Structures are given as C-alpha cells and as structure tokens.
Structure 1
Amino acid sequence: MSTSALDQLKQWTTVVADSSDLDAIAKFRPLDATTNPSLITAAAKQIENRALIESAFAEVDATGLSTDARIEAAIDILTVKLGVEILKLIDGRVSTEVDASLSYDTAATVKKAKELLALYARYGISSDRILIKIASTWEGIQAARILESEGIHCNLTLLFNMAQAQACADAEVTLISPFVGRILDWYKKAEGVEHYPIEKDPGVLSVKAIYQHYKAHGIQTQVMGASFRSIDQVLALAGCDLLTIAPQLLEGLTQDTRKVERALVGSTESTQAVEAIDEATFRERLELDPMASQLLQGGIEGFIQAREQLHTLLATTFADALSA
C-alpha cells in the first residue's frame, strides 16, 4: 500500500491543523492547531457548538458591564473554551489570537494576551500549551518581545516579507506564520496572471527565503508556513519547521500518494551577523513593499470584521438575556 503524501510530509515537518472544527481535528490528529477570528466565528455558527457558546455567555459576570462589554467578554471566553476543547484532541499547542483591533497597541496586546492566558489557567491549561497569536505589526512584534521575555510564547501571524521576519527574529519570538496563498493571490491580481508554476509561486518563494535566512544565521524562531491554496504549495515547503493546513487540504494529502521529496533543508550557519532592524527601517521596508503592507492591513481588517460578525451573532442569539 502506498504511503500518503501526508504521512511522508510528517517525516520532516510538524503538521498543524488550521481549523477550529473539532471533528476535523479529531479526524486528522495533528500535533498542534491554529485558530483565528474567522475560524472562531465559523465554529460559533455550527449547531454542535451551541452548548459551548451558551456556557461561555453564562460565565460572563454582568455586574457593572455594558452590553457590548459582556459580549466581548463572552467572545474571549468562547475563544478560550474552543482552545480547551481542541487541546483535548491534540498533544501539542493551540494558537489563540489577540483581538486584531489591538494590533497597533503594544500595551493593550500584552494585557489581552495575559487575560487570555488567565482564562486558560482557569480551565486548568498551562501556558506552555498556548501560543499567543499576534499580527506582525511593529507594535505587535514589540508586544511579543515583552511576552517572550516573561516566558509567554508567541506566534506572529499576517507575515508577508523579510522585514517582518527579521523583526520577529530580533524579538526572539517562538514562531512566525508567513502566508503563502494570500501572497499568491495578490501577485495574480496585481500582474494579471492566472497561474504560476509551483517553482515560481511567489508565496512559496517568500517562505523559502525566510526559512533559509533563519537557518543560515542560526535563528531559533520557528517557521510555520500558512494560508495554502493547494496541495502543491504545501508539498513545495516539505521540510519547513511546521505547516498549518486547512482540513480540506489535509484530506487531499491523505488521498495523494505521490512521492514527496524534502524541499527545505537548513543550510550551514553563516559567520556574518545579522544586523537588527530598527523601527524606522521596518516601517520603510514595509511601506516600500505594497504587497506586504496591503496584505497586513487587509488581514487585520478582515479579522476585526470576523470578530464583529461574532459580536453580532452573540448579540442576536442572547438578545433576551442581554435585555434582562
């Protein structure tokens, strides 16, 4: 019997489920799992999670809180409760995202991260099983620097270029999530191209460049490719430290029996030190890269919108309780 592409991939890469779908996670049994506001909102719409939502809302202390504040508190509790349920199904870690509206506020991001960890602790989950997920803005990276210095591990997401990757390395974050599919989408639209061969896929090439840079300079931050559009993109990054993959692509990988070759191998460490990137340089390089700057801001806005949709869903669902 032929070995599936997924099993072959697992020889070199930690496979992570990019989902809040508990059934999918139970099926594929990844080591780790990642969530984001869009995935949390999708999970909240599933009828099988209604009890989880009700229990989250029931835990909100209404004393002195406005209606909006109660809903926002319920969203945080629901996010953590879903994380807890995911952790029952995996042996590793779950990434839990800080409210994207705080992406440009270092102090507020640190505060929210600690609130989320306190919620996890309430449910008996230790911080070593949590990655705090933060957008790769300058302010977000500096928040991660503070959190990492206190032993709180972070996953820097919405990462699209080398300036962001280097700033994350300088901050000694645990893990970064450079995006593949969104970069491909941007270039296809910008250049009017219908298809790129996998060896020229700009998203794949971006992650490869970051991975090689990190390994060449002995940077300990792990690279987790994210946002895939195809199985070919996933396999083109075989050997990356981690890859976070949506359930439909995980299913495809289980059915694919092609021979998988390792595509990424860490090179010999360079003797040349990497100069740290300062805030002015970071902002300049981001501004000069329209792909990265547009996708970063667009990603933040999309996650804010997803949280607003969840806010509306909870407000509608619990209208009677909120008016009581």
Structure 2
Amino acid sequence: MNQLELLSTFTKIVADTSDIDAICKYKPEDATTNPSLILQAMNLKSNQKFLYKAIEYANKKGGSKEKRLINASDKILVDLGIEILKHIPGYISSEVDARLSFNQEKCILKAKKIIKMYEEEGVSRQRVLIKLAATWECIKAAEELKKDNILCNLTLLFSFAQARSCAESGVFLISPFIGRIYDWYVAQNLISNFSYNKDPGVMAVCKIYNFYKKHNYKTIIMGASFRNIQQILLLSGCDRLTISPLLLKELESNNTIFDRKLIPPTTFIKPPIPLSEEEFRWEHNQDEMAVQKLSEGIRNFGKDQLFLEKIISKLI
C-alpha cells in the first residue's frame, strides 16, 4: 500500500485541480476549483470548448457586455464543474466571484444563480459546494444558504476566529490554508530551527480539529494549500485534505508507512457562546498573518477573475 492509499483509509481525498486527466488518474472523492485553477484550465486546448460554449450561452442570454461577461464566466464555472462531476463520486466546490466577498446579499444571489445553472443541467445541489471567502459576510451568507439546502465551502481560512465562527454558524465545510500560513511565517523570518512538527499551518489546523471535535461541531475540516507531503502526513486523519496532482503523485510513489495523527475524542464538551460580529472582527484582527493572507487571497482571486474576463471579452 502506498502513502496515498494509506492516507485514504483515514481521510477523504479531494483533488485540488481542474485538470480532468489528473482527476481521472487519482480518482479522488471530491474536487475543488477556484478562479486561479479555472484560469489554468482554460489555457488547456482540451478545455477550449468550455470557453466557446460559455460565450455562445452569454450571447444568447443577451444584455450589456458586462452582463454577458458575468454570464459567460458563470457558465465556464458550472460547465467545468459538471465535467469534473462525471469523474468523481462526491462534491465539486465552485467558487463565487471573490469581488463579492464583503456583500452578504450579493453572495447569496450569486450562489443561488450558480446552483440554478447546475440544476438546469440536471445536477443536484446535493453535489455542489459553493465556495466563499471566510469573511463575516460570507459566513453569514453560508448560514442563510443552508436554509435552502445550499451547502458551502468557506475558503481562504487563516484565523481561529474564522474557523470558530464557521462552526458556530453551521457551515458545511471549511478550507484552512496550511501552505499559505507557512509561507507567511517564512517570509517574516519567524520560523527558526524549523521542524515539521512545529509547522504553523499544521499547528493551526490541529487546533481547529481539536476544538471542533471536542465540542462536537459538525462542520467538516478540509486542509488545503500544501507545500510538501510532510504537511499532509502530519494531518492524516483530518476529515478531508485537498491535494494538488504533484503531491498526489509524490504520495502515490512513496511506500513508507506512517501512523494516523488526528484522532477524534470519544467524549464531548458543551460549546462556548458563539462569537458576535464585533468579537469575530476583533479576534480575527489580532492575527496579523490571517488579516494579510485573507486580504491577499481575495485580491489575487479577484485578479484571476478579471484576467479570465479579459480573455472572454476578446471573444464575446
């Protein structure tokens, strides 16, 4: 049994890619996309059909050029998600435009639009997770969407305050970004005598895992953004891990045995009183790394969305 197979006995594996060939090769349970991955996917010749189909769809819908750009972008997101779903048994995570991350109502409307587009193509909402940045507004949007049986994946999660508020709001799944947390500490020269057991990204997820399991929160933890397989193995036993094809390949080619690291408790403690918006904002603000990385992540996803729209704009 290789490490990928062994890991799969503890943890559900999710493919962090929009590459259909990689998904077919590694056969993950779920798959996740984001604006950066979709942009990469559109650069593959095999995916050009999604681009032209989206433009045809947008032109048929009509409206201003801005409206057609939005409709074409949404169509690419949905059609690529539908294609991926043909090759996995579980969920596809489809991300809402990052530029909406501070508007609860617009996130709700966009999520409902995306779900409607999936359902018009015969895909049940039970197979789609709407990805939202873990801002207060998006956490509350996810809480509302759940009432309509629309489940969400709260991404760009860096602080404990974000994780706690997601659990307290009944969010379906969170994606803490291990690698980006690690990157920040390296860039700030805050890691010395580095050992994998003291990886700040790994430690952050362990803290979230222990808090969730101790209080019996049902929110799923899906570790994301890995830089090496050591980070992955130290989180073996986490509910889900979303892993890039490069690291999936490395795990598959390694037969070294390892032990499960994260094990849930058998007894539970009553949860604390939920954080208010004021408390959430203050607690999150105390984490300099989280403030910087959340802001950076939203900006970069927004830039990639704009870049995709420029590609569409030339063809529309």
- TM-score tier by shorter-chain length is over 0.9
**Residues 210-255 of structure 1, C-alpha deviations (whole Å, 9 max, x = no match):** 0110000000111000000001111110000000000100011100
Contact 1:215 1:269 in 2 (8 A): no
Q: Give 1:58 shift.
A: 0.8
Alignment of 1:22 onto 2:24: no
Q: Report the 3-state secondary structure (helix = DSSP H, G, I; strand = E; otherwise coil) of the residue aligned with 1:191.
A: coil
Aligned amino acid, residue 186 of structure 2: K
TM-score (normalizing by structure 1)? 0.95
Deviation at 1:193, TM superposition (A): 4.0
For 1:249 and 1:195, the matched residues in 2 are separated by: 25
- Mapped pair 1:221 → 2:212: no
AA at the equivalent of 1:87: L
1:35 aligns with 2:33: yes
Q: Secondary structure at the match of 2:155?
A: strand
In the alignment, which residue of structure 2 is the partner of 1:205?
203
Query: Which residue is 1:79 aligned to?
Result: 77
Partner of 1:11: 9
Counterpart CA distance in 2 for 1:216 and 1:55 is 48
Q: Do the aligned partners of 1:93 and 1:131 also contact (CA within 8 Å) in 2?
A: yes
Compute the displacement of 1:104 (Å). 0.3
Q: Relative to 1, partners in 2 of residues 1:52 and 1:273: Cα closer, same or farther, differing over 3 Å?
A: closer
Q: Which residue of 1 aligns with 2:117?
A: 119
Contact 1:180/1:203, CA 8 A, preserved across alignment: yes
Judge conservation of contact 2:160–2:284 (CA < 8 Å) in 1: no
Distance change >3 Å, CA 40–CA 63, structure 1 → 2: closer
* CA apart distance, 1:69: 1.9
Residue in 1 that maps onto 2:256? 258
Contact map agreement 1:215 1:268 (CA 8 A) in 2:
no
* Number of the residue aligned with 1:232: 230
Selected match of 2:165 from 151, 164, 167: 167
Q: Show the 5 A alignment for 1:129-144.
A: 129-144=127-142
- Matching residue of 1:249: 247
Cα distance 1:272–1:118, how it changes in 2: closer, same or farther (>3 A)? closer
Shift of 1:116: 0.2
Q: C-alpha separation between the residues in 2 aligned to 1:154 and 1:290? A: 26
Q: For the residues of structure 2 that align with 1:115 and 1:311, how far apart are their CA atoms? A: 18
Partner residue in 2 for 1:189 = 187
Deviation at 1:62, TM superposition (A): 4.9
Distance of 1:162 and 1:14 partners within structure 2? 23
- Cα–Cα, structure 1 residues 138 and 40, in superposed 2: closer, same or farther, change >3 Å? same
What CA distance in whole angstroms lies between the structure 2 residues aligned with 1:240 and 1:64?
45
Partner of 1:49: 47
After TM superposition, the score normalised by the length of structure 2 is: 0.97
2:65 to 40, 64, 67: 67
Q: Which residue of 2 aligns with 1:109?
A: 107
1:111 shift after superposition: 0.2
Partners of 2:196 and 2:231 within 8 A in 1:
yes
Structure 1: which amino acid aligns with 2:16?
D
Percentage of pairs with the same residue: 43
Which amino acid in 2 is paired with 1:151?
Answer: N
Q: Distance in 2 between matches of 1:139 and 1:31?
A: 29
Are 1:141 and 1:156, in contact at CA under 8 Å, matched by a contact in 2? yes
Give 1:59 shift: 1.1
Q: What are the superposed Cα offsets for residues 278-297 of structure 1, whole Å, 9 maximum, x if unpaired?
A: 10011001111110111111
Checking the alignment, whether the CA contact within 8 Å between 2:118 and 2:124 is kept in structure 1 is yes
In structure 1, distance between residues paired with 2:285 and 2:168: 20
* Paired residues of 2:62 and 2:68 also in contact (CA < 8 A): no
| CA positional deviation for 1:63 | 5.8
Is the contact made by 1:153 and 1:174 (CA closer than 8 Å) also made in structure 2? yes
Q: Deviations over 1:275-318 (max 9, x none)?
A: 201100110011111101111111000100010110111122x1
1:68 CA drift (Å): 2.4
The 2-side partners of 1:230 and 1:179 are apart by 13
Q: Secondary structure at the match of 2:267?
A: coil
Aligned residues: 316
Partners of 1:140 and 1:88 in 2: CA distance: 29
Q: 1:63 to 1:38 in 2, by over 3 A?
A: closer
Quote the residue 1:94 is aligned against.
Answer: 92
Q: Which moved more, 1:133-142 or 1:264-273?
A: 264-273
Q: 1:72 to 1:270 in 2, by over 3 A?
A: same
